[in-house]
Structure 1
Amino acid sequence: MPKSPKARKESSKREREEGRMSEEALNPFRKSSRTERSPSRGEEINQTKEIEEKIETVLREIKEDMAGIVEESRARRKELAAAREKEGEQEREDMLKSSEVRKESSKREREEGRTSKEGKNPFRNSSRTRRSPNRSQEENQSKEMDKEMKTTMIREMREEIKTLRKELAAVREENGELRKELATVREEMRGREEKGQLEKADWMKRMEIID
């Protein structure tokens, strides 16, 4: 007895469902791999972008730190050059003053020499000994102060450069860790992609065998 159109339709629908179920039984990764791989791939892309952004940020910070170190070093060099210039000016001024003092002393000695012949200069020795030590003492104090100021400034500059170098080393270490993390994520992505291709090839072979 021939089947009615409705019965034929139901039979065809049932056959299609059975065929689809048999394909899924032969390839259990068909649905799962398609549904699971897409979100994980998107997450991996997002993770890669985040890591790349972090690396760019760290590199930008390193460049800014390096620029800051260079700028700070330039400023310190200018300060040191100014201190040296000031010290040179002070030395020139002291030399001029000492030259003037020598001239005055020589002039005074000549005058005292003249007056001593006449017996009118009883304070010749006392005036010389009174002025010379005071002048020399002031010059020594000025030189010591300049030396201390320069030494302090150089020490502070070295300490600051040492601190900046430590910070830069820490930033570089963090950058290296981020690069390693990025390489790991990329390696995982390649592994999953290769696995997906192998699964697809295996499924295609099974379908060819069925056909």
Structure 2
Amino acid sequence: MPKSPKRDKRGYGGITEKNKVLRKELTAVREENGEQRRKRRWWDVERKHGSTQKEFQNRKIPKEIREDMAGIREENKVLRKEITAVREEIRGREEKGQTQKADWMNRMKIIEKKMEQREKKERKNNVIITGIGGISGNMERGVEEWLEKEIEVKMNEKEAFRINKNKMILAKIETWEQKKDIILNKSKLKE
């Protein structure tokens, strides 16, 4: 808690401006004297030993320790440089990794689209045949003969196999035109 200002004998109620100025001057002189005393102390040391303040401090530490400390400082500088280089390299790799990841994601999307288009195209040429039970052995050959005999369409299929517990046959036709002929002539089966 700050002290209350001393009252003047005449009872004016506080410190006068003149007193404030005098106090400031007094503190400035005291600070200046303190600085001079500190400087004098180091001046005395310099006169006695013939060296500066820093040299005096260094004399207190043995020479080997000073050399070790200097070596450690140099190592620290080198290590700091290495650390900054490694950080920069890591940043570069992270940025490169992110761009590569984006490239791979784009490539994956393109490949997926191509695969979907290819699958749609292959499914487009598929024909499912039901009600044929007597085909055994070479499935492709049997389906070809059945289509020629029943629908009267000559065609070449890539492959044929049974699905849904041997109730249906899936035949993969080579071209869309051949499938179109089969679809147009399937009404002959109902006769």
The two structures have a TM-score, normalised by structure 1, of 0.36
Q: Greater helix percent: which structure?
A: 1
The structure with the larger Rg is: 2
Higher relative contact order (CA 8 A, sep 6+): 1
Q: Greater strand percent: which structure?
A: 2
The two structures have a TM-score, normalised by structure 2, of 0.39
